[in-house]
Structure 1
Amino acid sequence: MSDNRPVSVVVIDDHPAILAGIEAWYAASARSITVLAAGGSVREAWIEPGSAADVVLLDLQLGQGPPAFGSLRQLVDAGRQVVVYSMRDDEKTALTCLDLGAATYLTKSEGREHLVGATLAAADERPYMPPALAGALGANARGDRPQLSLREEDVLIEWFQSESKELVAQRLGITVRTVNTYLDRVRIKYANVGRPARTKASLVARALQDGLVDVDDL
């Protein structure tokens, strides 16, 4: 997506005051962000006009029920870009959402400063690392790190820092097909140690956990 192209969002949150605040922050964005639909049910993301939104902003805790991990998984499986926006600030919840394929995890206390940036990054399929998520990843070093080759690490890190796989191929002097091959190998290796990473955001999380990159590199 172009850096100047308008972005559309469906907002899933059951607090009217929070919905009003989100819409005001989006309206003040330098890049056009339109809320196509908003409401307290995930159904808003599946029906028109919300089904056409570029980004789903999902409150993880709707009503008195359990965290909406199942709804998050269904949206990700359908190819939606989901930003989880939650009152919960514990490490386990944030990492679970990334494992399920969320584009990023944002706490509501970070919203005013980071919500617009996180939404635009999700629309552009770029990683976004707000402070609370960066802290959770930094504190969650893993011992089950797969053995990546130096070339696999190079391709992975270059992809994190590039806008497209085409640009990665150009910078490394390889083809896009070769870039995809290396990234597929990395995903297979992570899956084989029980740490699947289906999305770019998930791979960023794995790389941070394993010390392949620092938050400042992103």
Structure 2
Amino acid sequence: MSPITVLLVDDHPVVRAGLRAVLEASGRVRVAAEASSGAQAQEALAAPAPDGAGFDLVVMDIQMPDGDGIATTAAIRTADGPPVLILTTFETDRLVIDAISAGAAGYILKDAPADELIAAVERAAAGGRAMSATVTERLARRLSNPAVALSRRELEILEAAATGESNREIAASLFISQATVKTHLVHVFDKLGAATRTEAVAKARELGLID
């Protein structure tokens, strides 16, 4: 069986070298090309494949310069590109949900064991879903406790509040009214059992909803 051909996308050369070594040591995966940004990843996919066979999978970091991994994933999937497996150190609810909504085939953490990573690559390349155990647990906990299942908009507003932005600033950055911001915050307070922004932010961090 031919090895799975992968486009490896990460902005840290040392990380890419380590991941390449882990992936190729299995004998079942070949890193056919590398990219250090979202833009480079899209250029690599648009160019003729190095061996003419194309890529079976894109292994994608999230936080990179020149196009974040989630936005790049959405662009790749919209263009009918290969499946994308997110490989990152971040595991907040919002990032997981945004990645899956963007069309990612899976979400794996960089501290996953080598065999888990290889298995995830194989599942994603075959068209399946591949999730780290901790990410699966997080999603299951979120679904089993809807009282703290904040919407993406609520998470956006709470994350902005956590940086100290005022309602006016949040409204301006999200292109919504201040009244809408206040309404979302009321819902957030109710779901988290919080009385203030500070308390809501602290509880959300304890639950892993935001960084």
TM-score (norm 2): 0.59
Q: What's the C-alpha RMSD, in Å, of the aligned pairs?
A: 2.4
Contact 1:54–1:81 under 8 Å retained in 2: yes
Does residue 1:74 correspond to 2:70, yes or no? no
> Pairwise mapping of residues 1-218 of structure 1 onto structure 2 (< 5 A)?
4-31=1-28, 33-42=29-38, 43-49=43-49, 52-63=54-65, 67-79=68-80, 80-110=82-112, 112-141=114-143
The answer to which structure, 1 or 2, has the higher relative contact order (CA under 8 A, 6+ apart) is 1
The 1:73–1:142 alpha-carbon spacing in structure 2 relative to 1, beyond 3 Å, is farther
The 1:66–1:40 alpha-carbon spacing in structure 2 relative to 1, beyond 3 Å, is closer
Consecutive unaligned residues in structure 1, runs of 5 or more: 145-218
The 1:48–1:14 alpha-carbon spacing in structure 2 relative to 1, beyond 3 Å, is farther
**Deviations along 1:80-118, whole A, 9 cap, x unmatched?**
200011121212101211111100011112263422111
Q: Which amino acid aligns with 1:119?
A: V
The 1:47–1:41 alpha-carbon spacing in structure 2 relative to 1, beyond 3 Å, is farther
Matched positions, count: 139
CA distance in 1 between partners of 2:88 and 2:69 (Å): 11
Contact 1:12–1:44 under 8 Å retained in 2: no
Query: What SS does the corresponding residue of 1:61 show, helix, strand or coil?
Result: coil
CA distance in 2 between partners of 1:15 and 1:23 (Å): 12
CA distance in 2 between partners of 1:60 and 1:22 (Å): 15
**Deviations along 1:125-163, whole A, 9 cap, x unmatched?**
12223212212211221799xxxxxxxxxxxxxxxxxxx
Instruction: Give 1:30 shift.
Output: 4.3
CA distance in 1 between partners of 2:44 and 2:102 (Å): 20
CA distance in 2 between partners of 1:67 and 1:104 (Å): 16
Instruction: Give 1:37 shift.
Output: 0.5
Instruction: Give 1:7 shift.
Output: 0.9
**Deviations along 1:45-75, whole A, 9 cap, x unmatched?**
3323279211001111113x67432211111
The 1:45–1:13 alpha-carbon spacing in structure 2 relative to 1, beyond 3 Å, is farther
Question: Stretches of 4+ moved more than 4 A in 1?
Answer: none
